[in-house]
């Protein structure tokens, strides 16, 4: 022990000498430390996603966020959950149950389901987006929902059987198939044609290939087929022809703006009084179709629907929220087929839509469709 103590004191004495030397050095020897200021923006309101520092910190600037919500807008970096009341009314969650949120996102639905459990039972929540998963997990933990009540996993919901093997059959399952607002609003993710950014479109930017890389692999016929199958695009032939034509000329299609410009140029034949609105819809559908292809969304949904009855407990309830006709068709067909086979005892006969009040409060709710089923 004495030997170690001597060594420690020697180290301390040497450090003292070094510190005295540092203090004696001329201040001019040190490089100037520049103060890092927050990014400033022009005008009275920030337009760039990264400049919206108040919206991106809702816990710190609650008043600002509340004002934005009152106007019927979604603050940057946030997501307003859709059909919450309708979903909870159907799921009938009780304390002590075990449930699954197949698509965690911002965690709005997860939070409301956790409240229903009243600190008894457990909820598993999945997401393929590593960026948002960590943020949401941390946010929910700050609210008191730790590992004893909530388990979050970086996992595609096509693999629900893996979670069920660990957790046992689920009493309730929710899948919200829509993109989260914070994904759409962040130009770095490339999901929106309205904002300039890399043409990425991956739900998990660490896996697979981007939208730009995917387009380079495809033929004109494949692009046209993708647009028709994934988004019912009426101008699929014109848009696919324009994309291939530009690539043959050596044009780069690596950003959202470049793809949008090609679509706009391809649809200039549309009468001027209709062109703006029809082009906007075609841009929306083209980005949707490419995103679905890049992330194999239909294949993933099909696998999820096929495995679903086997992970539900007897009398277990599942609610699925979809946002475009392709998804809704798959859910509707699956529920009907599994009802005939006896896997479900009951399914929704009509699609449930958000109320007019909710749509006025949140414009992104307008395309939502909710369907449900009960395990036999």
Angle between helices 160-167 and 297-311 (to 10 degrees): 30
Kindly report, residue by residue over 180-200, the tens digit of the pLDDT.
777 777 888 888 999 899 999
Q: How many structural domains are present in the chain? A: 2
Question: Residue for token digits 């030997």?
Answer: 3
The enclosing domain of 221 has a CATH number of 1.10.150
Q: Give me the mean pLDDT over the 129-141 stretch.
A: 91
* Domain end position, chosen among 294, 316, 342: 294
Is residue 274 a part of any domain in this protein? yes
Q: Is the pLDDT of residue 339 over 60?
A: yes
- 118 and 256 housed in the same domain: no
- 330 and 356 housed in the same domain: yes
Cβ atoms < 10 Å from Cβ of 4: 8
Contacts of residue 172, defined as CB under 8 A and 6 or more positions apart, other chains included, come to 91, 92, 93, 97, 99, 100, 113, 316, 317, 318, 319
Q: Is the pLDDT of residue 298 over 90?
A: yes
Q: Give me the mean pLDDT over the 8-20 stretch.
A: 40
Kindly report, residue by residue over 205-227, the tens digit of the pLDDT.
999 999 999 999 999 999 999 99
Structure tokens at 259: 């793809």
Most confident option among 38-42, 46-50, 277-281: 277-281
Is residue 345 a part of any domain in this protein? yes
Question: Residue for token digits 């993109």?
Answer: 179
What secondary structure letter does DSSP report for 170? E
Residues in the chain: 376
Judged by DSSP in three states, 105 sits in coil
- 316 and 279 housed in the same domain: no
Q: Give me the mean pLDDT over the 119-146 stretch.
A: 93
Alpha-carbon distance 137 to 110, whole Å?
A: 10
- 177 and 88 housed in the same domain: yes
Is residue 111 a part of any domain in this protein? yes
| pLDDT tier for residue 8 given thresholds of 50, 70 and 90 | very low
Is residue 97 a part of any domain in this protein? yes
- 161 and 141 housed in the same domain: yes
pTM: 0.77
Alpha-carbon distance 119 to 105, whole Å?
A: 21
Going through the chain in order, the beta strands assigned E by DSSP cover: 98-101, 122-127, 150-154, 170-176, 312-322, 344-347, 369-375
- 173 and 126 housed in the same domain: yes
Q: Are 55 and 64 in contact (CB under 8 A)?
A: yes
Structural domain range at position 258: 204-294
- 325 and 256 housed in the same domain: no
Ramachandran category for residue 128: left, alpha or beta (phi over 0 → left; psi -120 to 50 → alpha): alpha
- 125 and 264 housed in the same domain: no
* Domain end position, chosen among 294, 309, 339: 294
- 168 and 317 housed in the same domain: yes
The enclosing domain of 151 has a CATH number of 3.40.50.150
Structure tokens at 120: 């008894």
Mean pLDDT, the chain, integer:
85
Is residue 50 a part of any domain in this protein? no
In this prediction, residue 23 carries a pLDDT of: 40
Is residue 108 a part of any domain in this protein? yes
Q: Is the pLDDT of residue 61 over 70?
A: no
- 253 and 311 housed in the same domain: no
Q: Is the pLDDT of residue 28 over 80?
A: no
In this prediction, residue 181 carries a pLDDT of: 73
| pLDDT tier for residue 31 given thresholds of 50, 70 and 90 | very low
Q: Give me the mean pLDDT over the 141-168 stretch.
A: 95
* Domain end position, chosen among 273, 294, 315: 294
- 100 and 142 housed in the same domain: yes
Is residue 96 a part of any domain in this protein? yes
Alpha-carbon distance 370 to 347, whole Å?
A: 11
């Amino acid at each position: 022990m004495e030997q170690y103590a001597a060594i420690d004191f020697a180290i301390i004495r040497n450090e003292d000498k070094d510190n005295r030397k540092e203090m004696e050095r001329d201040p001019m020897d040190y490089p100037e430390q520049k103060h890092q200021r927050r990014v400033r923006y022009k005008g009275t309101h920030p337009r760039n996603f990264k400049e919206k520092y108040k919206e991106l910190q809702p816990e710190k600037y609650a008043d600002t966020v509340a004002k934005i919500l009152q106007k019927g807008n979604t603050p940057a970096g946030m997501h307003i959950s859709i059909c919450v009341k309708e979903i909870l009314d159907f799921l009938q969650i009780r304390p002590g149950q075990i449930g699954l949120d197949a698509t965690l996102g911002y965690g709005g639905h997860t939070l409301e389901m956790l409240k229903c459990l009243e600190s008894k039972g457990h909820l598993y929540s999945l997401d393929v987006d590593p960026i948002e998963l960590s943020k949401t997990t941390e946010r929910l933990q700050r609210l008191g929902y730790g590992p004893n009540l909530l388990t979050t996993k970086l996992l595609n919901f096509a693999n629900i059987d893996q979670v069920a093997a660990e957790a046992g059959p689920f009493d309730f399952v929710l899948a919200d198939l829509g993109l989260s607002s914070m994904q759409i609003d962040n130009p770095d993710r490339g999901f929106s044609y309205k904002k300039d950014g890399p043409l990425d479109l991956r739900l998990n930017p660490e896996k697979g290939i981007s939208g730009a890389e995917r387009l380079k692999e495809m033929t004109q016929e494949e692009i046209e087929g993708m647009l028709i199958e994934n988004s019912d695009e009426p101008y699929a032939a014109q848009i696919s022809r324009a994309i291939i034509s530009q690539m043959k000329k050596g044009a780069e299609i690596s950003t959202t703006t470049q793809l949008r410009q090609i679509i706009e140029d391809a649809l200039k034949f549309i009468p001027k009084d209709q062109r703006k609105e029809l082009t906007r819809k075609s841009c929306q559908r083209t980005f949707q179709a490419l995103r679905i292809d890049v992330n194999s969304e239909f294949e993933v949904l099909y696998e999820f629907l096929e495995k679903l009855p086997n992970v539900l407990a007897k009398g277990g309830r599942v609610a699925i929220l979809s946002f475009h006709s392709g998804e809704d068709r798959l859910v509707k067909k699956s529920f009907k087929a599994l009802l005939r086979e006896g896997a479900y005892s009951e399914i929704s006969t009509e699609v449930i839509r958000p109320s007019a009040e909710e749509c006025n409060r949140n414009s992104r709710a307008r395309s939502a469709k909710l369907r449900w089923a009960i395990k036999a």
